[in-house]
Structure formats: structure tokens, C-alpha cells
Structure 1
């Protein structure tokens, strides 16, 4: 964990070279290092120069018991040849993780900023192909671009809301999340204990920002907000917005989205941010745009299949 500050500095330098500003905070890096399932003794590598400065950070993190492994290699701009030395270690560890879980093949996912042409070329060299794209959406609650975000939508008939401070609500929310995301890109089902542990391990988690919507007494939709974007952008973050298939088309998603906007505005946040898969099984992108959100960044997920 004492390496978190050096890793963050390296990532910030890379992000600034690509995006013009850092896109991760020190808290984000620390949260990644304590991610359940990530073994700091086996799953990550630091590459230092002769003077002890950090030039590279690479990792492979398995996703539960599935065949999916998230990977990344980050190298200080201007350092030549290091990525080529780190990738074999990452791929070897990913294969080991797949073998340990009994898989004959694994699927690797690599996140790449759309603006990072150098990383795109590197992904191609390593045999990755584009899988899907996530758009970072934002709406402002203050300033010239602010819309009527503090105004909630009219609630659907029969709607009641409960927040996530109690375990019974969290368990019901977990079931809604698992059922609603079954067909989404990269989704891996997990049990409640793992689901809870992952969120509890994150410094951004605020269980009061989990809202479970009941329609006529039945759990129907879910909103999970957190504080991930508060330290650097003073924005709320919609981590999860899910509506069960049987309850779609009744305005629940739009209502919960407006509910999140109003809550963030009441907290004094400058805006609200979320990420949406452009290949989502539901027309989520159109919903967010119609609610006044705008795309501020694109992040592509590249994928590669490997035999174990």
C-alpha cells in the first residue's frame, strides 16, 4: 500500500500527457490495491529506473471465478521498450489465474482512452481487438450550463424508495443488480458476500446513496451512487442504474436518474457523472442525453481471447 502514491504520480503523468489532466485520484489507486481478489504479491508489477523512480505499473486482476481477467500496463511517457517487457508477465499471470479457476480459455479486457492513440497501437500489437465503448456522461448543477437538475421527475404510481443502510435492503438491491445486468457486456454474476465486500472496500462507498425502488411493494429498480468523483471534480457519481426487465418502460430509470441529480444538487455538488456502455442492451445512452447529460469522454474496452 505504501506504493500507492508513486503509482498515482505515474498514472497522473500519463493521463496528463493524453487527456491534459489526471483522471484518477490517490484514493482511486488505493481502492484498486485493496480490490477483493487482487493479490498484491502476485498480480501486480512495479518497474523502477536506475535511480529508483517508478517507470511502469502493470497488473492482471481476475473477475470472480469467471474466465474474464482485467489487465493493464502503464508506462511513463518517453520510456521505450518497457511495455514489451511487462506484457509477457501480465499475460502469464492471467493464464495462471484462468488455470486456477479451471478454464481452458480466458478473455482479457483492457481499458483504453479514445484519445490515447499510442495505447491503441499497443493494444493491437498485443493482439487485442475493440470490444465495446463506454461514454462518460455529465450534467452540471451549477454555472452557465446547469439545467433544472434539482427538480425530480414525477414518481410512478405505487412507488416507494428505501436506502441501503440496512442489510435487508442491500440484499434485495444485490438481487435486482444481478438480474438486471445479466445480458450486459462483461457482466459476471457474484454472490451477495462478494458484492458487498467489493463496495465496502471502496473509500467512495456511501450506503445512504443506494436507493432501491419498490413498485407495488416489489423490488423493481436500483440506483447506486458514490463519492468517486467528489475529490477531483466535486461531482456525484451514478455507479449503477438498473431496472428489472418486467418493470422497464414505466419511467423508473428516468425517475431514479432525476432523483440522483436532485440529491447531488442538494449536496452542493457541481454535477453528476456516470458511464454508459454504447452497446447497452437497453437504450440507456438516449435516456441520459434526453435528461440533459452530455458526453465528456470515451473509453474503449479492448478484448483478447487466450488459451490457458
Structure 2
């Protein structure tokens, strides 16, 4: 159902069975109360909605998929109600509810606007194609490259860099460390060898987390997260991590490398990705609303 919905909008399924499975086993998601599946009389699914509370549930993400307007309306109300319940359970007077929507999904954009949501940020899916071998870049001077995160100390370090780099960005809520570990280990497209850290003078200052999210659907590598601590930006660390990922994906026979970027955040991320040869292929918007829980 989700593949048919996405294909009608953007021409590709943009997801796999593993992607759906990853969502419903994600720490913090309760399948008994946080997901809604609507079946037609013949037993086939015609709608799906989820509500996912982040952190102390002061931020809740909702998603709705249905080509039937009446079903989409019902799912929207159910997910909003579940979001309110999460806020009340944690004692909040109000919560932030957000939802990521393809720019092409006019009906869902209208539904959000009708419920007083506003578009607050834009996400670009970036891609670079690999038509042959890609040169591996030289490691930056005075930088030590650490590959893999197989021990507790390295995983703590990786998590701390992510929190420090994304703190304050719209929609980002830091997970407790053990929940972060559980989330990654439950993700079918990830393993700990896909984390790379850069160190300067013994301090970890940058991270890249790759995954196999787009291997099945597009034979592409994926960079799920790229971050450099503020005081170490402008040294070419992000470009090195990008170009090295491109070289590794090309050597593995991948058709390209894909990542998603928030183009409205404080860092000039879009310009960085354009400068290394990536191009936008898909646009989504992040919508949000402050919602009283009563």
C-alpha cells in the first residue's frame, strides 16, 4: 500500500518491507497504541498512520498515508489524538507535533494546512551517480580516521558528537544512550562497521553514519548522518567524509550515493553537497504545530 501511494506521487516506491519493520520495532513506538491500519472490506489495506513520541514526548511526529480522503482524515484525527495522549501522560500542557510530507503530496499538505500546521523546513534528497571508479581522497593532515564503533566507549563518543552537532535543530530530540543503541541495532539496514569518526589531537570531532537504506530500491549507498563539531568546520572534514563514501560506494558497485539534508538549518549544508557533485532529486517539507493536549 505504501509503495503504491509513493509511486503515485513521486514515481518510485521509496521504501521496503524492512523499512516498515524498522519503524514498528523502533524504541518508543508502541504497536498497540501508536499505529493505525485501515482495511477495506476485502481485507486489503487502504490507510496507515503512526504517532511517534520523541524524548519525553514533548515532540511527537505523525505520518499518514491513504489515497482515500475520508480515510486520511480519520487517520489524521487518530494520530493527533494519540499525540495529545502522549503529552498528557507526561504532564505537558502543550506539545509540538510535526510531519514530513513530499512536496508533491498536495492533498496531505492541504490537510495539514487545514489543521493549522505550517511548513517550517525543507528537506532535499541529494544524489551523486557513480559511472566508474571514484578516487579515494587523501586523509586531511593531522586527522586520525577511526572506522567502526564496536566498543562501548566509541559508541558513547559517536552519540555525543551527534547530540552536540544537532542540538537546537528543528525536530531534533536526543535519545537516551541505551535507546539510541537499541534503535540502531534494530535497524535492518545498519551495522556498527558503518560508523566513521575523525579525531584531531585525540578528540573525536566529526562523524559519518552510512547504511543500506537505498541498496534494495536504487542500488545506492546512503549517508544517514554527517556531522562536524562547530569549531572544526571549514577544515574540509565533511568533504573528506563525503568523497570517501562516494569512493567506497563506487568500489562496491553502487550506482550512486544518497543522503537527505535539512536545507533550512543553520549550517550551509546544501552548498556543501552541491560542491561535491550531488544534486537534489526529491523535495519534502517539515510541517509543525504547537498543540494543546486538552
Match of 1:303 among 280, 288, 291: 288
Give the equivalent residue in structure 2 for 1:289.
274
Q: Distance in 2 between matches of 1:260 and 1:18?
A: 30
Q: Secondary structure at the match of 1:249?
A: coil
Q: Do the aligned residues in 2 keep the contact of 1:152 with 1:255 (CA within 8 Å)?
A: no
Match of 2:214 among 229, 244, 249: 229
| Alpha-carbon shift at residue 153 of structure 1 (Å) | 3.0
Q: Secondary structure at the match of 1:265?
A: helix
Match of 1:69 among 60, 63, 66: 60
Give the equivalent residue in structure 1 for 2:226.
241
Q: Distance in 2 between matches of 1:286 and 1:103?
A: 38
1:183 partnered with 2:168: yes
1:218 partnered with 2:203: yes
The 5 A counterparts of 1:148-227 are: 150-163=134-147, 164-227=149-212
Q: Do the aligned residues in 2 keep the contact of 1:66 with 1:188 (CA within 8 Å)?
A: no
Give the equivalent residue in structure 2 for 1:36.
27
CA deviation string 1:77-130 (max 9, x = no partner): 3x3422222222211110111112222111111111011112211211222110
| Alpha-carbon shift at residue 66 of structure 1 (Å) | 4.2
Give the equivalent residue in structure 1 for 2:122.
133
Per the normalisation by structure 1, the TM-score is 0.91
Give the equivalent residue in structure 2 for 1:108.
97
1:26 partnered with 2:17: yes
Q: Distance in 2 between matches of 1:167 and 1:266?
A: 30
Per the normalisation by structure 2, the TM-score is 0.95
Structure 1 pair 66/156, CA: closer, same or farther in 2 (3 Å)?
farther
Q: Distance in 1 between matches of 2:109 and 2:137?
A: 41
Aligned residues: 292
CA deviation string 1:127-156 (max 9, x = no partner): 2110101000000112xxx6x7x2233322
Match of 1:16 among 7, 26, 29: 7
Q: Distance in 1 between matches of 2:168 and 2:72?
A: 34
Q: Distance in 2 between matches of 1:102 and 1:213?
A: 41
| Alpha-carbon shift at residue 286 of structure 1 (Å) | 0.4
Q: What's the C-alpha RMSD, in Å, of the aligned pairs?
A: 1.4
Q: Distance in 2 between matches of 1:200 and 1:131?
A: 31
Structure 1 pair 80/297, CA: closer, same or farther in 2 (3 Å)?
closer
Structure 1: stretches of 5+ with no match in the other structure: 1-9
Q: Do the aligned residues in 1 keep the contact of 2:57 with 2:86 (CA within 8 Å)?
A: no
The 5 A counterparts of 1:44-83 are: 44-75=35-66, 77=67, 79-83=68-72
| Alpha-carbon shift at residue 218 of structure 1 (Å) | 1.0
Q: Which runs of 4+ in 1 moved over 6 A?
A: none
Give the equivalent residue in structure 2 for 1:5.
none
Q: Distance in 2 between matches of 1:215 and 1:141?
A: 30
Q: Secondary structure at the match of 2:104?
A: coil
Q: Distance in 2 between matches of 1:74 and 1:213?
A: 39
Which sits farther off after the overlay, 252-261 or 81-90? Answer: 81-90
